[in-house]
């Protein structure tokens, strides 16, 4: 890959072709994602005043072991790897991120059957994408109702991240409040 250093961050991009994933690979990816990953649907500020605000999905896995992050990049053939270089006593954090909608859908669909903690969040986002694709395909544009729906999904995912659901038992993270 190609590496570049910018403002304390190391970015590595490669055009790796994905390996054929085994069921064990998919399950391992799901475990990594459940423990160290996040999925979100975020408000984005347009780069031009002529362009309206929009939403975008992202999947991120962050950890301090670069070998796992590089393996995720290689096995999926998706996304980019970056690092945030820290000084002692903090450790450098390595991240793998995908933000292209089709890549997000593909990755989440592959690991969904194996998720234990974040399955509900993934289900919400994938269901939203399916409904939106059907609507836009039939009507040809994004309406104010779709924009409102996108904001509701953003808010729902933020709320869900404060909750932990394990095998049907709902708990709350320490110090969080659910309204």
Tens-digit pLDDT profile for the chain (179 aa)?
A: 334 434 444 444 444 556 789 999 999 999 999 999 999 998 887 777 777 667 889 999 999 999 999 999 999 999 999 999 888 888 999 999 999 999 999 999 999 999 999 999 999 999 999 988 877 666 667 777 888 888 899 999 999 988 766 655 665 554 544 44
Q: From CA 107, how far away is CA 92, in angstroms rounded?
A: 25
pLDDT in the model for residue 83: 93
pLDDT in the model for residue 39: 95
Rounded to whole angstroms, what are the CA distances from 25 to 1, 31, 167, 178? Answer: 22, 10, 22, 35
pLDDT in the model for residue 52: 67
pLDDT in the model for residue 97: 97
pLDDT in the model for residue 80: 96
Rounded to whole angstroms, what are the CA distances from 39 to 9, 49, 159? Answer: 22, 28, 12
Closest Cα partner for 97 from 9, 6, 158? 9
Rounded to whole angstroms, what are the CA distances from 179 to 156, 169, 170? Answer: 12, 18, 15
pLDDT in the model for residue 149: 86
pLDDT in the model for residue 94: 96
pLDDT in the model for residue 31: 97
Rounded to whole angstroms, what are the CA distances from 76 to 15, 36, 80? Answer: 11, 17, 11
pLDDT in the model for residue 179: 43
Q: Give the global pTM.
A: 0.76
Q: From CA 101, how far away is CA 58, in angstroms rounded?
A: 8
Q: From CA 2, how far away is CA 141, in angstroms rounded?
A: 38
């Amino acid at each position: 890959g190609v590496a570049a250093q910018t403002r304390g961050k190391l970015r590595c991009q490669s055009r790796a072709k994905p390996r054929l994933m085994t069921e064990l690979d998919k399950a391992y990816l799901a475990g990594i994602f459940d423990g160290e990953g996040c999925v979100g649907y975020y408000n984005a500020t347009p780069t031009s005043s002529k362009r309206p605000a929009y939403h975008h999905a992202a999947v991120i896995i962050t950890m301090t072991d670069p070998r796992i992050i590089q393996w995720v990049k290689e096995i999926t053939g998706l996304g980019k790897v970056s690092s945030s270089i820290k000084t002692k006593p903090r450790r450098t954090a390595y991240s793998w991120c995908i933000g292209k909608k089709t890549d997000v859908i593909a990755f989440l669909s592959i690991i969904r059957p194996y998720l234990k903690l974040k399955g509900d969040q993934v289900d919400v986002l994938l269901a939203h994408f399916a409904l939106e694709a059907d609507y836009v395909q039939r009507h040809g544009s994004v309406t104010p109702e779709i924009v409102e729906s996108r904001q509701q999904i953003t808010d729902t995912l933020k709320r869900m991240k404060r909750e932990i659901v394990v095998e049907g038992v709902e708990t709350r993270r320490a110090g969080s409040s659910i309204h």
